């Protein structure tokens, strides 16, 4: 049994009452609920599960999420390495589900690392629109970038900045802003009991102050009629209903949106409503949502969907769209690569950007980013090197075999695909034409390989190597 801090126990007992508190404690004697969420940008859930020969129980509130009993089995599978699914705790799938991303929208994931929410949003956008994924920690932003590129998301921008600076760059720019806020993490005590130590050091008050600050800056970036989605993985009323109550008082042009269990949550009715009595008594707070570990198969979470009034007064400021310089002469090697290797992707030349020799395909309508700490601005295609073009792993992940003439596809259960993922050199049909090939597991892109006289030189990114 997890040893909860005494102060935490007292508060939870007061919130839930003796009988329900006993059920709450019992839930921590049950196994932790691992899950996976399938990349619908690449495949359909049931088709992938059928390919893998597994029958997994669906997460009730997310049609793309499923429960896992053996995490290790799925974390080593070539389909996982190929970005076909993301391993994620079931309750953590709720925030991105409530974003309800639609192709063509402009969305900000403000506290995005390590990428569970951003990969879900990116998959739902289906390559259309723009996803700006941010994390204040540069090291965590690197992991975020890795996950987005591994998922084959081609319309994302990854930055590492403070919310205040972002708000100055993108006033009223986004259709939706997701804030999965830093919090005291009480809902994660089951997964990481050691978090109780940081809870004792910080408590809820300091996180509440931080949440108010982030919410303020997030609101400035929501267009009139747009939405702000707020979530935490804590039970703390101060950080949950309390933060939303404060926000509504300070931002009268925002209102809470009722979450429809049937429409928004796949007909799931096991998620509780918020509790106004735990904040300022505003009855609108019943429109927020709470996930309790003793009510469902998942951990603790809180979420709220807020909409900015369509007739809100403009806050001022203007977003400048990025200007793309004329392509340098060296780009001829990129176009030559496409022609020689038989890659027929319909690139819009007006969206091709070259910076320091790196070729990127920027999202349509990308804003000016100069002055921000940018990890990636769009789909990273590769590097120009002395009159030749070297394609990137991210380029491969964004492609499908139908746009490539030269493809080598290995079955998901083959020894060859494992060796490829380990960056080993492979032998191939000596009759294959020399040159670059898109390497796939079944029909899903993994990376590149360069064939020379029956030998496949492995071009899988070393940082992605299967160990």
CB atoms within 10 A of CB 449: 23
Give the angle 155-156-160 at the CA atoms, nearest 5°. 165
User: Which among 250, 270, 252, 249 is positioned nearest to 261, based on CA atoms?
Assistant: 270
Beta bridge partners of 34: 68
Strands 374-377 and 358-361, by their bridges, are unpaired
| Alpha-carbon gap, residue 22 to 452, rounded angstroms | 66
Binding-site annotation, residues for S-adenosyl-L-methionine: 111-117, 135, 180
Binding-site annotation, residues: 111-117, 135, 180
DSSP structure string for 211-257? HHHHHHHHHHTEEEEEEEEEEES---TTTTHHHHHHHHHH-TTEEEP
Q: Is 233 a catalytic residue?
A: yes
Q: Which of 183, 233, 404, 440 is catalytic?
A: 233
Instruction: Give every CB contact of residue 324 below 8 A, 6+ residues apart in sequence.
Output: 350, 351, 352, 353, 362
Beta bridge partners of 131: 107, 156
DSSP structure string for 164-214? HHHHHH-TT-EEEEEEE-----GGGTTT-TTHHHHHHHHHHHHHHHHHHHH
Within 13 Å, how many C-alpha atoms sit on residue 224's CB side? Answer: 9
Active site amino acids: 233
């Amino acid at each position: 049994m997890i040893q909860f801090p005494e102060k935490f126990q007292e508060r939870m007992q007061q919130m839930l009452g003796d009988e329900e508190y006993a059920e709450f404690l019992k839930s921590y004697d049950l196994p932790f609920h691992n899950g996976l969420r399938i990349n619908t940008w690449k495949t359909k859930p049931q088709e992938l599960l059928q390919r893998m020969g597994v029958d997994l129980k669906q997460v009730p509130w997310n049609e793309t999420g499923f429960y896992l009993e053996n995490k290790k089995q799925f974390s080593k599978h070539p389909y996982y390495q190929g970005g076909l699914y993301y391993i994620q705790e079931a309750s953590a799938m709720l925030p991105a589900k409530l974003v309800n991303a639609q192709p063509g929208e402009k969305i900000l994931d403000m506290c995005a690392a390590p990428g569970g929410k951003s990969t879900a949003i990116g998959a739902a956008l289906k390559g259309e629109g723009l996803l700006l994924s941010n994390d204040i920690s540069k090291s965590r932003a690197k992991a975020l970038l890795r996950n987005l590129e591994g998922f084959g998301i081609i319309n994302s921008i990854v930055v590492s900045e403070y919310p205040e600076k972002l708000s100055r760059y993108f006033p009223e720019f986004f259709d939706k802003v997701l804030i999965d806020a830093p919090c005291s993490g009480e809902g994660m005590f089951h997964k990481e009991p050691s978090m109780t130590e940081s809870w004792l050091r910080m408590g809820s008050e300091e996180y509440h102050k931080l949440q108010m600050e982030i919410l303020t800056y997030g609101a400035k970036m929501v267009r009139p009629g747009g939405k702000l989605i707020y979530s935490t993985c804590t039970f703390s009323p101060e950080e949950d209903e309390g933060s939303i109550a404060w926000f509504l008082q300070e931002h009268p042009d925002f209102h809470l949106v009722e979450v429809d269990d049937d429409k928004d949550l796949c007909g799931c009715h096991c998620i509780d409503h918020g509790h106004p009595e735990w904040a300022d008594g505003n009855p609108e707070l019943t429109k927020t949502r709470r996930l309790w570990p003793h009510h469902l198969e998942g951990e603790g979470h809180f979420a709220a969907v807020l909409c900015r009034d369509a007739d809100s007064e403009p806050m001022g400021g203007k977003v400048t769209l990025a200007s793309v310089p004329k392509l340098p002469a060296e780009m001829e090697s990129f176009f030559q690569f496409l022609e020689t290797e038989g890659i027929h992707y319909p690139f819009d030349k007006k969206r091709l950007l070259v910076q320091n020799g790196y070729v990127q395909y920027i999202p349509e309508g990308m804003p000016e980013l100069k002055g921000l700490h940018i990890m990636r601005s769009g789909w990273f295609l590769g590097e120009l090197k002395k009159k030749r073009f070297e394609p990137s792993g991210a380029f491969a992940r964004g492609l499908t075999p139908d746009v490539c003439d030269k493809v080598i596809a290995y079955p998901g259960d083959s020894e060859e695909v494992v060796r490829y993922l380990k960056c080993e050199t492979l032998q191939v049909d000596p009759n294959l034409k020399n040159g670059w090939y898109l390497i796939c597991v079944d029909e899903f892109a993994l990376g590149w390989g360069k064939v020379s006289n029956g030998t496949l030189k492995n071009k899988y990114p070393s940082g992605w190597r299967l160990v």
